[in-house]
Amino acid sequence: MRVRRFIERPRVFALLLIAPALIFFFVWNIIPVLTLIGVSFYNYSMVTGMPPRYIGLGNYEDIVYSFRLWESFGRTLSWVVVTVGIETVLGIAIGILFWGSVRLPGRRLALTLLFTPMLMTPLAAGIFFRLMYEPSIGIINYVTRWAGLGTFSFLSDRSLAFAAVVFVDVWMWTPFMVLITLAALGSVPKAELEAAEVDRLPWWRRLVTVVLPHAKFILMIGILLRTIESFKTMDLVFNMTGGGPGTTTELVALTLWRRAFEAFNLGWSSALAFILLLMAIAFTSIFLFVLNLRRRQQEREASA
């Protein structure tokens, strides 16, 4: 009886309800992150069988002085800006087109086909496009040769490789932004849209004054998710170019993978993984802060 009463206390009951989630979070998130931080202070190779050797901040110092790694960070930043930028612009444009064409015949089929690339695993998409880009047997080069443009080594030419991989990422993830845009546009109140129509506002003013203020939050969530995903891109690049030619397409997640599972240097890669985690947290916090700026401002104005 006492136990039951204890359990039924509001605070205890709430704690019990969230306990499974907390345990899961602790076991699968907190413990691995703490282990990761611990390993980052050691010179530790996964495969030599030698005991880990404590080296303090040695791995972090190495990372600071690793010019190649900073180049890789720079490349990743370009990658994020270019891919997320193109996907956002294209996604919003295509989303608006679909939004405004409710009665278009075959709309549902077109939308289903449009979303297909997003459902593919990056590994499959990588293999698919690697074959299409192939200089001798690839269909893209077949077309360029047929058009008299010659043969292009899309994935081996330093001037083309980055763009070729960006194209595949855009092909895969623009549908995601279309989906987000459609969801965002769906959140715009019909009454306001009808009022704008009655007021005969031009389309761009309707977009800026009615649609965007309502759709902004969902769009920002979409951009945030894509930014974080884009920052972590590894499998697509690994499969298409392996980071090459040279390091032309080597993103920071691939560098991390190489150090961890090619060179088996767990200490160094744990330090880098921890830095990346901090960067992702900082980035998300800034993003959310900016996203909520206007709301906070409105709240301040309202309370004043």
Give me the least distance between CB of 263 and other proteins, in Å please.
4
Query: According to CB under 8 A, which one of 86, 142, 156, 283 is a site residue for other proteins?
Result: 156
Q: What's the min distance (Å) between Cβ of 72 and other proteins? A: 11
Question: For other proteins, which residue of 64, 208, 263, 279 counts as binding (CB under 8 A)?
Answer: 263
Q: Which residues inside 198-257 make contact with other proteins, applying CB under 8 A?
A: 241-248
Cα distance between residue 91 and residue 170, in whole Å: 10
Q: Find the shortest distance in angstroms from Cβ 248 to other proteins.
A: 6
Give burial (CB, 10 Å; 0-12/13-18/19+) of 262. exposed
Alpha-carbon distance 182 to 197, whole Å?
Answer: 20
| Footprint (CB under 8 A) of other proteins, residues 4-33 | none
Residue (247 or 291) nearer to other proteins, CB: 247
Residue 109: other Cβ atoms inside 10 A: 9
CB of 229 to other proteins, least distance (A): 25
User: CA of 31: how far to CAs of 24, 28, 34, 56, in Å?
Assistant: 10, 6, 5, 20
Could you tell me which of 65, 103, 108, 129 has the C-alpha nearest to residue 268?
Answer: 65
Stretch of residues binding other proteins (CB under 8 A), selected from 132-140, 205-213, 279-287, 292-300: 132-140
Q: Which of 17, 21, 50, 102 binds other proteins (CB under 8 A)?
A: 50
Closer of 199 and 262 to other proteins (Cβ): 262
Q: Which of 258, 276, 287, 291 binds other proteins (CB under 8 A)?
A: 258
Binding-site string for other proteins from residue 52 to residue 91, where x marks contact by CB under 8 A and - marks none: ---x---------x-xx-----------------------
Return the number of other C-beta atoms located less than 10 Å from residue 176's C-beta: 18
Q: What CA–CA distances, in Å, run from 106 to 40, 103, 112, 295?
A: 55, 9, 10, 40
x/- map, 28-47, other proteins, by CB under 8 A: ---------------x-xxx
What is the 3-state secondary structure of 225-289? Answer: HHHHHHHCCCHHHHHHCCCCCCCCCCCHHHHHHHHHHCCCEHHHHHHHHHHHHHHHHHHHHHHHH
Q: What are phi and psi of 42, to 5 degrees?
A: -120, 150
> Which chain residues interact with other proteins by CB under 8 A?
43, 45-50, 55, 65, 67-68, 134-136, 151-153, 155-156, 158, 241-248, 258-259, 261-265
